[in-house]
Amino acid sequence: QVQLQESGPGLVKASQTLSLTCTVSGGSISSGTFYWTWIRQPAGKGLEWIGRIFTTGDTNYNPSLKSRVTISVDTSKNQFSLKLTSVTAADTAVYYCARVNCGGGDCSFDYWGQGTLVTVSS
C-alpha cells in the first residue's frame, strides 16, 4: 500500500520561503506510470493544483505560481519537495502531496498524503 507523508514547518514568515517534503513509502517513487504532484487548499476553500514532477526531473507548474515555485525529486530518498518563495498570507493553506496515476488512460490523483497546514505569519 503506497503511503505519502508531508513534512516541513507549519509556520513561515511572510516574504520567506515555504519548504515541504513528501516521503513516499510502500513503493518506489521511480516505478510505473506515475508522477508526483502538490496541491493546496486554503481553509474552507477549494483545491488548487501547484505543479507536478516526473522522476526524470521534468516539471510543470501552475502559471499562477510559476515564478515562485520549484518542485524537485530525490529518488535515492524516495522523496519529492516543494519550495514556494516570497510567501504571503494568501499562501496559508493545507498542502497535499499526491501520486498521479496515468495507467488507466487518464491521469488521476490516486494516493494522497494527509496534508499539512502551513500558516504564513506577518
Partner 1 sequence: DIQMTQSPSSLSASVGDRITITCRSSQIISSYLNWYQQRPGKAPKLLIYAASSLQSGVPSRFSGSGSGTDFTLTISGLQPEDFATYYCQQSYSVPRTFGRGTKVEIK
Q: Which residues bind partner 1 (CB under 8 A)?
A: 37, 46-49, 52, 60-64, 96, 101, 104-110, 112-115
CB of 47: closest distance to partner 1 in angstroms?
Answer: 4
CB 75 to partner 1: min, Å: 23
Query: Which of 61/80 has CB closer to partner 1?
Result: 61
Residues 6+ apart with CB under 8 A from 44: none
Contact 90, 61 (CB under 8 A): no
Shortest distance (Å) from residue 13 CB to partner 1: 26
Pick 55 or 62: Cβ nearer partner 1: 62
Query: Could you give the angle at the alpha carbon of 58 between the alpha carbons of 53 and 62, nearest 5°?
Result: 60
Nearest alpha carbon to residue 115 among 46, 48, 38, 27: 38
CB 6 within 8 A of CB 95: yes
- Rank residues 16 and 68 by Cβ distance to partner 1 and give the closer one: 68
The CA distance from 46 to 28, in Å, is: 30
Nearer to partner 1, 16 or 59 (CB): 59
Shortest gap between Cβ of 17 and partner 1 (angstroms)? 22
